[in-house]
Structure 1
Amino acid sequence: MVKLDLEKINLPGLELERPWMIAGPCSAETEEQVFETAQQVKEAGFKIFRAGIWKPRTRPGAFEGVGTIGLPWLKRVKEELGLFVGTEVANAHHVFEAIKHGIDILWVGARTTANPFAVQEIADALKGTEIPVLVKNPVNPDLELWIGALERINQAGIKKLAAIHRGFSTYDKTKYRNHPQWQIPIELRRRIPDLPIICDPSHISGKRELIYEISQEAMDLNFDGLLVEAHRCPEKAWSDASQQVTPEELKAISEKIVLRAPKIGEKPRVTLDELRQQIDTLDTEVLETLKKRMEIAEAIGRYKKENNITILQTRRYDEIMNNRKAKGAKMGLSDEFLTKLFESIHQESVTRQNKIMNS
């Protein structure tokens, strides 16, 4: 269990209730675009407006944000529309400028979270402030790096802290821009139970038609809120056009989301415990089966060593993968799950055989 010194996040005059909703464009492009989108966000019923001022891009030449000149636009939104405003920061200069312009919420982006030096610089710049800070997961699925960034910010005296789950980069092609790998934020919640977790379905999906699906799954996992990219005219957005929706579309999405109770009463508890006990029993059976499988893999390794046969047999591996995925599909198991499962099993078998071969 990780210990953080946390306080409940609230904003002046706004008691945040689940689900929080932070909405606005990926990037601030022009003052007109920012203000018009903010008006639509307010009309849709949302109270926290986001816009990227500095945009770290993968390759040079892409739009990297308007920079500091966009901060007065957010200040105008705050003053004239009464919305709270937030933006991403990547270094100490960004922190100083954002606070100077009255920004209400800051968040640390995925690329920055991956760099402890950059996170420490931001943490040092935040000392003496009480501004709420949200920390996105690092680009790669590294829970310890994510927790480390949260600890650095917390040790700087920031107690109003939350995590943002925005998915993880993967070489494999999936339907997502960044694979959610839900087990990682679930483990974060287990390690730091009092830490709020917000989902960023825009960056997980990469496409607007998946935003509702991902948002609902996040709420089903008892996440605390959503950070969604909303633009007055998404198809004309200067960055990440395919993953943005209009504020009105976001309102429709939010109204469709079903909120389930995070706790259950005493009566269903017996049934739930019984179901969990069944899972425990089945998991034990799975572990015992894997143990037996590895014992056979080791026997094969000894045979290969005695007969001077290479460990990797590509044809056999292909046969196993194709056969198991075909059988699993008939059982309703996804191709992606089966691929990961048997890749892991195969790798462990190879590792054990390699130890035998070289003992």
Structure 2
Amino acid sequence: MNEIYLDNNATTPLDPEVFEEMTPYLAGFHGNPSSQHALGRRARRAIDGARERIAAVLHADPSEIVFTSGATEANNQAVAAIAGRPEGHVLLNPADHPSTLEPTRDLARKGMRVEELSLDGEGFVDRFAEQVRDETRLVVCQLANGESGTVQEIAKLVASMPRGCRFHCDAVQAIGRLPVDFRELGVTTLSLSGHKLHGPVGIGALLVRRDTSCTALLRGGHQQQGLRPGTESVANIVGLGKAIELACRRMPTEIASIAALRDRFEAALLKHLEGTVVNGTTERRLANTSNLSFPGTTAEKLLMALDLAGVCCSAGTACASGSLEPSPVLVAMGLEGDRLNGAVRFSLSRLTTSEEVDLAVDRIARVVERLRGRND
């Protein structure tokens, strides 16, 4: 049975063009980028080139880019930068990724007052002006949610912040799927990851606005202005630069076709399976993301049955889906009962075909009908 991969918000396959760009640094060039000899200088030029590529497409300055092992490290570093500041108020989107939720909640133990942002039923921040205060020191809110697909109006939130307040934005799910402009967003820090956009696993970056001080998580080296000590992974950094460049270049022509496939997928399931509900907004959301509830069964049973049927999907973010608890994202949006317990996330990519979508609809419909029949 051919597997149909509809879990691209968890990870994406490596683009062959990205692999080709990385290959010389995996199998040939082996200089340490901190070394002064020719091979070291060649490695340094490769890193500088990747940094410039990323800066160009995200409208940042190359000096603002700090390479990390991934978005989890980048998110932790961004939040840690506030930890040593005076006591104050912190606002946190409860639908954010665990790698921002957990370190931000830890700030409460350091004297900060951490408050969750209010979300409406579609996952949008809806009472920001009421919740932000003069003493607010940090706001943490992702640009696009990987479960619901909801896209926040970050620039508007930033414009409402008090002077001196920092804003950290996790843009992992957005880059390559939405236009992302670091300057226009106005955020203080922004995180991204390679493996969400057909790049390599184990590489990400933190963008830090030039007028902002930032704290290193690690100690023991001078690399990257001391903000991320350790020998840089040249091949992964080169791959990240290529992946972001390709994703952003292809985005204007590919997003519409991906959205059309997503809408075709949803329309067919809504037609064939009575009671199926689209969770989140159907307007301002990621073009590749569909979160559906199938009342009459549970996500746990669905995922096991769909896996056996050759459909790869999930019940939430990969970093939290090992838990049997309901999705914190959907709970924050106010979902409950059968709608909460029967929610599954499907996420497409530019590699998803119309034939795969139609076949997936058939397999999902058969599985849901069978599970519902057992519960009658």
TM-score range (shorter-chain normalised) is 0.3 to 0.5
- Structure with bigger gyration radius: 1
Q: Report the structure, 1 or 2, having the larger helix content.
A: 1
> Which structure is richer in relative contact order (CA contacts within 8 A, separation 6 or more)?
2
TM-score (norm 2): 0.32
